[in-house]
Amino acid sequence: MTETIHPLATIPREELLSRAEADPLRPRFHFVSPAGWLNDPNGVSQWNGTYHLFYQYNPEGAFHHRIQWGHATSTDLVTWTDQPVALEPSAGPDAEGCWSGVLVNDDGTPTLVYSGRFEGKELPCVAVGSPDLLTWTKDPGNPVIAAPPAGVDITAYRDHCVWREGDTWRQLVGSGIRDVGGTAFLYESSDLRTWDYRGPLLIGDAQGDPADTDWTGTMWECVDLFRAGQGRLGSAPADHSPDVLVFSAWDDGETRHPLYWTGRYAGDTFTSEALHRLDYGGRFFYAPQSFLDESGRRVMFGWMQEGRSDAAMVDAGWSGVMSLPRLTTVANDGTLEFAPVPEIGKLRRNHTSVPAQVLVGAGTRVTTVVSGNQLDLELDVQLAPGAEIRLGVLASADGAEQTVIVLGRDADGTPTGTLRLDRTRSSLDSAVDVEEKSGPLSMTDGRVRLRVLVDRSAVEIFANGKPLTARIYPTLGGEGVTLAATEGSVRLLSFDAWTMAGVFEETRSLLPERK
């Protein structure tokens, strides 16, 4: 993403930490950096049983500048331990920042491939790690690719996806061809240091309206290529599962939204079949990166960026939230489905439920008997044609503020409908983003299984496996939960709710030392 330097360049570390911790909007069970700035997930992986989350980090303040690689570890994807910064700028090709990249296993040697920024440009660099992944040594030959492909007028060039096929490493670098569209340039190598250019894997179309939710951008950030089902990239598919090319659409410094192509990767090309929205929240789930864990699950993280002003972030002392880790699976129609990893259930407390019942007619309300600003809600509902149900969270006692999740079924009787997030009354702060988010939903017989995770200013919604992620900034501290049918007939089959415990108990350090 484009770097922005805020005029408040430095705040004392103690004050930065205290500001961040005191902010009532700061999430408590999502991963956040100790303070300062967080963006893209990097090098997400499991190594010898331990999960590793690296991330773009600025410990100097809540603004994008002199980016380092923050690092945290976990044994369960739920509770995280801050580790020393993995990479920080140094004289040479990453003097202006260590930007996004990945972790690979080079015959037992942990190796990072990342974008080093120097003189306003990003180029691929390599660093090797100690066995515990806590100490990193940059390769003296950095950058390992000296320049973007010759003769191509690019919009930008950064971010990496690296994998192995037999004895050959392959790499994608996100980019865009000016006046044509976003792309991912393909390279191959025998040693991760000397790379041969193979050409663009796939080229998008920059024409169209940037406001469209499926516009593919002028540049592709954070490309991620994987086999969605059984088998490995480049091998013959063992089933009908697609290959998936994920990217985040970018345009002249604007982060737009994550998308993915389904199709088939073979040789030096990706034959696309269909383009899909990855998350109906658009830019609020940006720069996703995934990995296969040791049990064979594909786990994905994304950056939940802010929807408030630069000044508000600096005043708060922190910016950016990491999404909860998501399981990525293939639906019957070949699209991706998502769900929070089951381990998140460890944080559940104080279970309550609502009896099954039928809601008929506009305004039929349900007594929910649950409240809080750290919640995990699960509903199973069945909507008649034309029916609509509204779940409100973070509602203030006077009704002035409320964030509403809306499920509606099409009136024509087809098994389709809409998931919608209404943020028009989420906040009395007129400066924050309250744009509505929505997307189509398949619902056989009108059935929707809905899960909503609320963590102060972060909300993640999953409806029949389709996610909608967003940020909200309530000012009144409301914790109310409401449920009402607003159109037609809705069967409430089940409604379970839990409050959620926090994951950081101890005082954190901006720059953790090795223990």
Backbone angles phi, psi at 442, to 5 degrees: -85, 130
DSSP reduced 3-state for 301:
strand
Distances (CA, A) of 248 to 175, 291, 337: 11, 17, 18
**Token pair for 14:** 């103690």
User: φ and ψ at 314, to 5 degrees?
Assistant: -60, -45
- The string of pLDDT tens digits covering residues 422-445 is 999 999 999 999 999 999 999 999
Q: Which two tokens stand for residue 423?
A: 């943020």
- pLDDT at residue 360, as a whole number: 86
Q: What is the mean pLDDT of the chain?
A: 95
Predicted local distance difference test score (pLDDT) of residue 123: 98
Q: What band does 209 get if pLDDT is binned at 50, 70 and 90?
A: very high
The confidence score (pLDDT) of residue 7 equals 52
pLDDT for res 2: 47
91 burial class (0-12, 13-18, 19+ CB within 10 angstroms)? exposed
Which of 237-241, 396-400, 462-466 is least confident? 237-241
What would the 3-class secondary structure string for 113-156 be? EEEEEECCEEEEEEEEECCCCCCEEECCCCCCCCCCCCCCCEEE
Q: Could you tell me if 111 and 142 are in contact, meaning their C-beta atoms sit under 8 angstroms apart?
A: no
Report the amino acid identity of residue 105.
N
Q: What is the mean pLDDT of residues 45-58?
A: 98
C-alpha gyration radius of the chain: 23
- C-alpha 406/C-alpha 360 separation (Å) is 16
pLDDT in tens, 358-394: 998 777 899 888 999 999 999 999 999 999 999 999 9
Which helix (H) or strand (E) segment is 13 a member of? Answer: helix 13-22
CB 495 within 8 A of CB 448: no
Q: Calculate mean pLDDT across residues 245-273.
A: 96
The distance between the two most distant Cα atoms of the chain, rounded to a whole number of Å, is 70
Out of 1.10.150.120, 2.60.40.10, 2.115.10.20, 3.30.110.30, the CATH code matching 13-340 is 2.115.10.20
CATH 2.60.120.560 in the chain, residue ranges: 343-500
Instruction: Rounding to the nearest 10 degrees, give the CA dihedral for residues 86, 91, 92, 93.
Output: 40
Which CA distances in Å does 408 have to 25, 303, 388?
Answer: 29, 28, 4
Read out DSSP for 165-214? ETTEEEEEEEEEETTTEEEEEEEEESSSSS-EEEEEEEE----S-TTSTT
* 343-500: CATH topology: Jelly Rolls (2.60.120)
Q: In which residue are the tokens 């501290």 written? A: 477
Contact 461, 338 (CB under 8 A): no
Q: Let me know if 107 is exposed, middle or buried by CB neighbors in 10 A (0-12, 13-18, 19+).
A: exposed
| pLDDT, tens digit (0-9, with 9 covering 90-100), for 98-124 | 999 999 999 999 999 999 999 999 999
Map tokens 């809705």 to a residue: 490
**Is the model's pLDDT at 421 over the cut of 90?**
yes
Place 396 in a pLDDT band, splitting at 50, 70 and 90: very high
- pLDDT grade for 13, boundaries at 50, 70 and 90: confident
- The structure tokens listed for 480 are 């109310």
pLDDT in the model for residue 9: 53
Q: How many other C-beta atoms are found inside a 10 Å radius of the C-beta of residue 70?
A: 28
Q: What is the pLDDT, as a whole number, of residue 507?
A: 85
Per-residue pLDDT at 6: 52
Q: How confident is the model at residue 11 (pLDDT cuts 50, 70, 90)?
A: confident
Structure tokens at 342: 């089951």
Through-space distance between the first and last CA atoms of the chain, rounded to whole angstroms: 33
Confidence of residue 231 (pLDDT cuts 50, 70, 90): confident
85 vs 59: CA distance, rounded Å: 10
Length of the chain: 515
At residue 431, the pLDDT reads 96
pLDDT for 5 equals 47
What's the mean pLDDT in 460-479? 98
Mean pLDDT of 320-338: 96
CB-CB contact of 316 with 296 (8 Å): no
> Distance (Å, rounded) from C-alpha 214 to C-alpha 252?
17
- Cis omega before residue 143 (within 30°)? yes
- Residue 388 has a CB neighbour count (10 Å cut-off) of 19
Residue span(s) of the chain under CATH 2.115.10.20 come to 13-340
**Percent of the chain residues topping a pLDDT of 70:** 98
